A and B are shown apart, each in its own frame.
Chain A
Amino acid sequence: MATTSMPAPPAVRGTGSAALPPAVGRAGFKGALRSEFTKIRSVRSTYWTLLALVIVTIGIGALASWGAATHASELGPDFDPTRQSLFGLIVGQLIIVVLGSLTITSEYGTGMIRTSLTAMPRRGTAVAAKAVVFGAVALITGLVASFGSFFLGQALMSGQHINATLGQPHVLRAVIGGALFLTVCGLLAFGLGLLLRHTAAAVGAAVGLLFVLFILVNFLPQSWQNAVDKWMPFNAGGQIWRANAALPGEHMFAPWTGFGVFAGYAAIAIISGLILFRSRDA
């Protein structure tokens, strides 16, 4: 038997107009959603990235929690065991940024975008479906990573009785908030990918916004810092996964306000990306 990897073209018969069901309505959002879900579940990079996200986030959270447990006597009164266990989100956000960006930029990298837009030429619909499917996948994975981090971290700290429980004030919000934070990080990168159309550029820009920007603020005079700091994407979005109250002298947004600001940044990226996407040649 000859190799099966190179089947010869078959003799051309008719092209089998094997009666398609009659067309109903218009191709729209529902079909686009199913298509985008097929796309995201049918490439290996999705699984690797999501697996890495969960393992790294939980792993780093566990390390941080274990570290706290071994130095329990040195912890101050403002110690937040919830936030401690979610510490891995700082690295997790970098991983979700890659997936969020790839969701759109891999189509540009491979040229698939032209095939996709030929099938679904209504570009707003195509982008909305992509964002919704990615957002859902990111949220579910984020919940796994966030709750996994919390439970493992608290278990590690329970021996020293410095752990938190979900029933305590703000703790559940913080843990769910960790997943929301990851989702919005990914959506921000998705928007940047839509704008920049290039994986490396979009990931670079997202890392710059999330990581570099708030480091740069540290070089500002203190009074300016107090005004600017809370607006930094990471500082704004990161408030949602803390369970303790803001400390005196801290100039941060309240958790949901900060998260709203952060989501606003992602919305700006996606909307401006969409405006360009609709008018640009593919």
Chain B
Amino acid sequence: MIEAQGLTKRYGDTLAVDDLSFSVESGKITGFLGPNGAGKTTTMRMILGLDRPTAGSVTVNGQPYARLAHPMRDVGALLDAKAVHGGRSAYNHLLCLAETNDLPKRRVGEVLDLVGLSEVAKKRSKGFSLGMGQRLGIAGALLGDPGILMFDEPVNGLDPEGILWIRNLMKALAAEGRTVFVSSHLMSEMENTADHLIVIGRGRLISDCTVQEFIAANSRQTVRVRTPDPDALVKAVAAAGGTAREDGEGLMVVSGLTVSQVGDLAFENAVRLHELAPAHASLEQAFMELTASSVEFHAGVPGDRQPVTAGKVA
């Protein structure tokens, strides 16, 4: 169990984490979502005692991280897979970590097996691929057989095979009753793995709910329509109480009406339709809209269909 209360971190003029309170429940996968720069990594660093909070506090199993008797037995963390001395072999890297927490030497061999790095155990980690480095980091996190695992953007830059492996690993860890706290800037990454979501933007808590609640609250049903006569349709939809927005090349997205209502409207107003289909706003889109006002820098996307986010910047 991780509990943050009023956690705040200020770097000079920048408020990286702003009065953040949340708790990560045991035995679940909790997704920690937010756009890049939202303060996810800073929060995780404060949990591990690497960064000192400007205000507030955070505890792991009821204690500040630095006071845990054997930290690696409580928490296994992988924040940055590149944070290793590349001149050291995988085996010695893990050994020097295990020794700090009085873990038996044989455990090093076990975790190397677990992540499939036994063959390269004696090789210097300098030559490892990104995926292998990631697995070395995960091996380190598993050394103490901890009840809590923390991963910061674990699939960034991995190939599909590596992504799948990490997903399955997280599920396996949770199935064993462990707590998994994993950050991502992609909703799609969390959709199928997480049970619970903590969403932050600009260092502030935006949402703290189950994935089901998030989906229910944020997936709006819309209708996709293609017509050579958009103006007539827009009028008809507006008259019926819905809203239609142009999505380029004669494609319209109607919200507030069902598919059959839109079909009937078109028939009654003699508007020709070339396409009529139900559509779900993706969770990714819901997430983007939710955090839009909190994104630190907006990139102007050339040919962006609608400036959804522009002007909303807080």
Contacts and interface: CB of A to CB of B under 8 A. Distances in A.
B120 A119 contact: no
A23 B65 contact: no
Contact of B87 (A14, A44, A114, A123): A44
A15 B173 contact: yes
Contacts of B86: 110
B82 interface: yes
Nearest to A114: B83
Contact of A110 (B85, B104, B114, B115): B85
A107 interface: yes
A279 B52 contact: yes
B100 A4 contact: no
A173 B265 CA distance: 103
A244 to B, nearest CB: 44
Interface string A12-41: 111111101101111100111011101100
A16 to B, nearest CB: 6
Interface stretch (B161-169, B195-203, B209-217, B237-245): B161-169
Nearest to B104: A21
Given A5-B120, A26-B69, A12 B165 contact: yes
B123 interface: yes
B229 interface: no
Contacts of A122: 66
B58 interface: no
Given A32-B100, A121-B71, A279-B52, A20 B144 contact: yes
A21 B48 CA distance: 24
A8 to B, nearest CB: 7
A9 B88 contact: no
Contact of B83 (A6, A32, A111): A111
Given A20-B144, A27-B71, A118-B48, A110 B83 contact: yes
Contact of B176 (A8, A17, A43): A17
A10 B84 CA distance: 22
A276 to B, nearest CB: 12
Nearest to A36: B96
A222 interface: no
B129 A6 contact: yes
Contacts of A116: 97, 100
Contacts of B107: 18, 20
A153 B46 CA distance: 56
B223 to A, nearest CB: 41
Contacts of A4: 119-120
Interface stretch (B72-80, B246-254, B286-294): B72-80
Contacts of A123: 66
Contact of A39 (B79, B88, B116, B171): B88
Q: Is the interface of A mostly helix, strand, loop or mixed?
A: loop
Contacts of A107: 85
B70 interface: yes
Given A16-B110, A21-B104, A25-B69, A112 B85 contact: yes
B189 interface: no
B119 A121 contact: no
A261 B138 CA distance: 47
Contacts, number: 161
A281 interface: yes
A45 interface: yes
Contacts of A117: 48-50
B103 interface: yes
> Considering residues A8, A13, A27, A107, which has the most beta carbons from chain B within 10 angstroms of its beta carbon?
A27
A32 B83 CA distance: 19
A27 B88 contact: no
Contacts of B173: 15
A245 to B, nearest CB: 47
B89 A10 contact: no
A23 B110 contact: no
A42 B145 contact: no
Given A12-B169, A20-B107, A42-B88, A27 B101 contact: yes
B45 interface: yes
Contacts of B132: 6-7
A226 interface: no
B19 to A, nearest CB: 19
B172 A15 contact: yes
B24 to A, nearest CB: 17
Contacts of A15: 114, 142, 145, 169, 172-173, 176
Contacts of B172: 12-15
B13 interface: no
Contacts of B161: 8-9
Contact of B50 (A17, A39, A114): A114
Given A16-B110, A31-B99, A31-B101, A118 B52 contact: no
Interface in B17-61: 45, 48-52
28 contacts: A6-B132, A9-B115, A9-B135, A9-B161, A12-B171, A15-B173, A16-B110, A17-B176, A20-B103, A23-B69, A23-B70, A23-B102, A25-B102, A31-B101, A38-B99, A42-B92, A42-B95, A43-B87, A110-B83, A110-B84, A114-B80, A117-B49, A119-B71, A119-B140, A120-B101, A123-B66, A281-B51, A282-B45
